[in-house]
Structure 1
């Protein structure tokens, strides 16, 4: 049995914009990014946005909150 995960259109750009504005990434945002990471149909721009978010977390520009 396989499980299909589908992202809402524009979800990654919404998460990116929210994190850029607030400097925080919520638990719901992280679940959205996890689902996105499993999506093999993401275009290159969406993959770059996810990579930019991860770099911002590593550098301390974006905080992870519960």
Structure 2
């Protein structure tokens, strides 16, 4: 049996704001996004925010780090 994963309310908007501010997506951010996606009850706005994050990573505007805490770029 898989463990139940549930995102915290407002987690996606906080991850988006933090990644935009710091220029990086941390390991903790990625776990938060994974939890939100696995929940399968995302609003359209939350899905758009996740897509914006993924595009920013793909374009190199936000880098992915292995640190578990935010770094100021």
Is the deviation greater in 55-64 or in 33-42?
Answer: 33-42
Q: Which runs of 4+ in 1 moved over 3 A?
A: none
Deviations 1:7-59 (A, max 9, x none): 11000000000001011000000111111111111100001000000000000
| Aligned-pair Cα RMSD in Å | 1.0
1:8 alignment partner in structure 2: 8
Measured after TM superposition, the shift of residue 2 of structure 1 is 4.4
2:55 alignment partner in structure 1: 55
1:31 alignment partner in structure 2: 31
Aligned residue-pair number: 66
TM-score w.r.t. the length of structure 1 is: 0.92
Question: What are the ranges of 5 or more consecutive residues in structure 2 without an aligned counterpart?
Answer: 67-73
TM-score w.r.t. the length of structure 2 is: 0.84
CA distance in 1, matches of 2:40, 2:30: 18
